[in-house]
Amino acid sequence: MRPAPGVFEEAQRRASRELAGIRVGSFERPDAVPAYEVLEKTPDDGAGTRSARLLVDTRSRGPEELTLITRDLKARYAGYDIVSVEFTDTSEVLDYHGGAVIVNTALGSRNAGFIYAPPSEGYYVKVED
């Protein structure tokens, strides 16, 4: 098998740059945010997408509180195309409480598998019961 001709590679790079320029959702920080700490940040810059995985320690449990934290993280990591978040509570031996996907650009949305459209607010939060 031989590589694709250079013209297609340039067209793909140009399309990726255009998608990265399309911003998704609001990047304003909420007024009040529950306490949290980013324990681990793992950059993952694959497929031309600037992305990261975060492990977040918080005692917050409900969907409203985790959504506020997610909105704050969206503002803090606005320079990334996509960010995935796992919520835990280290006071309970790394107890898993849910996760979030933060989509900041159309490129991040496409590469994360949101084929038709990104989440309307630019993030999706799932809370474990």
- In the chain, the amino acid numbered 117 is A
pLDDT of residue 112: 79
Cα separation, 62 vs 73, in Å, equals: 17
Residue written as tokens 């590679």?
9
Domains and CATH numbers, the chain: 6-127 (3.10.310)
pLDDT of residue 34: 95
Residues 2-61: tens digit of each pLDDT: 666 555 566 666 666 666 677 888 888 999 999 999 999 998 877 678 899 999 999 988
Computed over every residue of the chain, the mean pLDDT equals 83
pLDDT of residue 57: 95
pLDDT of residue 37: 96
| Per-residue DSSP letter, 31 | S
pLDDT of residue 129: 66
- Whether 113 has a pLDDT exceeding 90, the answer reads no
Mean pLDDT of 81-97: 87
30: exposed, middle or buried (C-beta count within 10 Å: 0-12, 13-18, 19+)? middle
Strand order in the sheet with 82-89: 37-43, 51-57, 82-89, 95-103, 123-127
pTM for the whole thing?
0.80
- In the chain, the amino acid numbered 127 is V
